[in-house]
Chain A
Amino acid sequence: MAFYVDIRKKLGDFELQVSFETKEGVTGILGASGSGKSMTLRCIAGVVRPDEGRIELDGTVLFDSKKGIHQKPQFRQTGLLFQNYALFPNMTVRQNLKAGVRAREKDPKKAEQKIDEMMERFCLEGLGDYRPCQLSGGQQQRTALARILLSRPRMLLLDEPFSALDGYLKWNLELELAGVLREYKGSTLFVSHSRDEIYRMCDRVCVMDQGTSSPVIPVRQLFDAPVSKAAALLSGCKNYSRAHPAGKGKVYAEDWNVTLEYEGEAPEGFCCLGVRSHYFRFVPAEEAKDQKNTFCCRILQVIEDVFSMIVMLFPLPTEETVSKDDRGIQIRAELTKEQWERFRSQEDLSEGVWIHVNPEDVMLLK
């Protein structure tokens, strides 16, 4: 089971440039909205024709602009789950499933049997005569999934499967879908703008930014060691500064006006560094003096979140380089409520606070 895609398509000002390779298991496509994720799936499924390139699945060429191959979507056998599920509104649940099995099973008796099995598997018994508009969001998704699996896809393409649902439903459906994907033998592309979903559901991930894809990497790597700023942003990193090399193992963070140490290899041509919000540690003032990777900040705002405190900071060394009210430069630090209470009771916060970041938590980015 191997899948290869390398396509380009121009849509007005937007240019889609996707190229990656993947095998069985779940591959996430992570990108902000408008980054071309859905369009990529549509090109793979064949309902949109790319301008040029090549798509290959298990040795079958689905699309090749050079050889003039553009297989019709009917013959690609890719199961595309649309964001709105695209259930046929004029048909009942059972008729929808029948439409799914129609092209693959000509024997009506066997078809009925398969539909029954699928309805049982997706807990749709008793809903056969309902219309899609009478179903809940979760039932709609289950129907759509059952319909797709009945068409025996060689590959599953899931387009933001949870975007149409509210939080409470989402979690149950995610568990269900995870179960389906575990049983599914082929490869799956899972499109989402949510890093949490990608982290939980996928083995590998391909980051898309403004129509351009990056190579597929293991999910862990994206979160532990993103290489580009776009990837870091999508993985949830909140703090960035422009950065320049400053000697061996050291980097100058221009926006914060401090020099920080880092660990590991610096990627070639890095221009930026990122630090995750909860990797900043608050240090008492007397310990902070002469400690490396530590600098003083003014508190701009303290926000109480559900389970944590968010402290918005302005790095004081910066006051030498930029005007005071440059809102662009802010550091977001997160810590537990207890940590914050303890720190606040012991320190005088009006003088500013000292924050520290471990060298291994400084991410150098391209």
Chain B
Amino acid sequence: MDWFPLYNSLRIALISSVIVFFTGIASAYYIARLHPVLKGFLDVVLTLPLVLPPTVVGYFLLVLLGPRRPFGEWFLGVFGAKLIMTWYSGIFAASVVAFPLMYRTARGAFESFDETLAAAGQTLGLSDIYIFWRIRMPACRQGILAGAVLAFARALGEYGATSMIAGYTPGRTATISTTVYQLWRTDNSELAFRWVLVNVAISAAVLFAVNLLERRERKNHRRQSPGKGV
């Protein structure tokens, strides 16, 4: 069994998780402070990939990144590298699709954050950076971790958009999900089944981790609530 799809899937999922982790948190933090109208608009745009069929996302990505499209052409001219049909094309697809999960959970966590804590930090003379990393993030840690895990799981399972912009080239762009489809199509159901098992095992582990985090968060919440006062 050639393990390249597992390796490729994992690296795509990990890299896009890292990208989505920071962009998701940053957007959740800044968008919450915007004017309600602008906030509503950005909210819709950023959550759209969650509900759109992945093929539609793939279409948009092709329109944006294709070598004969303005951005893709410019990138090819400057860096001499194609943005589609390579292994890292999968990163674009996975990032776009996983982003809303991180963004939404991070926003939920930030919204339940008690803003008086940040205000207290400011009046004590603590810098906004300190407040963000040492007070806000720890208080929202469980929610943000859960979002990151969900985003990772979604990135790992990406199929539609990936197959459109990265295609299936064994040993180059193949991921677990595209491999399963390809093996099934070529009547190699035994090998397809093995990959299915691998995928189920990883996804189950990830969801188990999410449950564990959520349970811990609930427990923490219960423990903290009586002392919080009005």
Q: List A residues at the B interface (Cβ < 8 Å).
A: 42, 45-47, 72-80, 82-86, 88-90, 99-100, 102-104, 132-135, 137, 140, 147-148, 151, 163-164
Contact B123 A85 (CB under 8 A): no
In the assembly, what is the distance between CA of A84 and CA of B120, in Å? 11
In the A-B complex, the 6 residue pairs with the smallest Cβ-Cβ separation, listed nearest first, are A103-B125, A84-B229, A86-B120, A164-B229, A90-B138, A73-B122
In the assembly, what is the distance between CA of A137 and CA of B226, in Å? 10
In the assembly, what is the distance between CA of A298 and CA of B227, in Å? 49
Pairs across A and B, CB under 8 Å, 15 listed = A47-B119, A47-B122, A76-B123, A78-B123, A82-B116, A82-B120, A84-B230, A86-B116, A88-B117, A99-B121, A99-B126, A102-B125, A103-B125, A133-B223, A163-B230
In the assembly, what is the distance between CA of A77 and CA of B117, in Å? 16
Contact partner of B226 among A79, A86, A133, CB < 8 A?
Answer: A133
Contact partner of A45 among B123, B130, B134, B135, CB < 8 A?
Answer: B123
Contact B117 A86 (CB under 8 A): yes
Contact B228 A73 (CB under 8 A): no
Interface string of B115-151 (1 = CB under 8 A from A): 0110111111111001000110011010000000000
Cβ of B114 within 8 Å of any chain A Cβ, yes or no, is: yes
Residues of A within 8 A of B228 (CB): 84, 89, 133
Contact B227 A133 (CB under 8 A): yes
Contact partner of A74 among B117, B122, B139, B226, CB < 8 A?
Answer: B122
Residues of A within 8 A of B122 (CB): 45-47, 72-74
Residues of A within 8 A of B127 (CB): 74
Q: What total count of A-B pairs have CB within 8 Å?
A: 88
In the assembly, what is the distance between CA of A82 and CA of B124, in Å? 12
Cβ of B224 within 8 Å of any chain A Cβ, yes or no, is: yes
Give chain A nearest CB distance to B229 CB in angstroms: 4
Residues of B within 8 A of A73 (CB): 119, 122-123
In the assembly, what is the distance between CA of A90 and CA of B117, in Å? 11
Contact partner of A84 among B116, B130, B134, B141, CB < 8 A?
Answer: B116
Residues of B within 8 A of A147 (CB): 124
Contact A80 B120 (CB under 8 A): yes
Give chain A nearest CB distance to B133 CB in angstroms: 11
Residues of B within 8 A of A90 (CB): 135, 138-139, 141
Contact B116 A104 (CB under 8 A): no
In the assembly, what is the distance between CA of A50 and CA of B224, in Å? 33
Give chain A nearest CB distance to B142 CB in angstroms: 11
Contact B135 A88 (CB under 8 A): yes
In the assembly, what is the distance between CA of A83 and CA of B114, in Å? 13
Q: List B residues at the A interface (Cβ < 8 Å).
A: 114, 116-117, 119-127, 130, 134-135, 138-139, 141, 223-224, 226-230
In the assembly, what is the distance between CA of A88 and CA of B138, in Å? 10
Residues of B within 8 A of A132 (CB): 227
In the assembly, what is the distance between CA of A148 and CA of B123, in Å? 9
Least CB separation from A82: chain B residue: B116
Q: Are A104 and B117 also in contact (CB < 8 A) when A90-B139, A133-B224, A133-B226 are?
A: no
In the assembly, what is the distance between CA of A85 and CA of B139, in Å? 16
List 4 other contacts, CB 8 Å, given A47-B119, A82-B116, A137-B229. A84-B229, A99-B126, A102-B124, A102-B126
Contact A45 B119 (CB under 8 A): yes
Residues of B within 8 A of A88 (CB): 117, 120-121, 134-135, 139
Residues of B within 8 A of A104 (CB): 125
Residues of B within 8 A of A140 (CB): 227, 229
Give chain A nearest CB distance to B27 CB in angstroms: 23
Residues of B within 8 A of A42 (CB): 119
Give chain A nearest CB distance to B143 CB in angstroms: 13
Contact A80 B230 (CB under 8 A): no
In the assembly, what is the distance between CA of A86 and CA of B122, in Å? 12
Give chain A nearest CB distance to B38 CB in angstroms: 19
In the assembly, what is the distance between CA of A82 and CA of B114, in Å? 12
In the assembly, what is the distance between CA of A77 and CA of B125, in Å? 7
In the assembly, what is the distance between CA of A77 and CA of B229, in Å? 25
In the assembly, what is the distance between CA of A86 and CA of B130, in Å? 16
Contact B114 A86 (CB under 8 A): yes
In the assembly, what is the distance between CA of A103 and CA of B127, in Å? 8
Least CB separation from B137: chain A residue: A90
In the assembly, what is the distance between CA of A72 and CA of B131, in Å? 14
In the assembly, what is the distance between CA of A72 and CA of B118, in Å? 13
| B135, B229, B230, most chain A CB atoms within 10 A | B229
Give chain A nearest CB distance to B194 CB in angstroms: 44
Residues of B within 8 A of A80 (CB): 119-120, 123
Least CB separation from B226: chain A residue: A133
Contact A46 B230 (CB under 8 A): no
Contact A79 B123 (CB under 8 A): yes
Residues of A within 8 A of B124 (CB): 99-100, 102-103, 147-148, 151
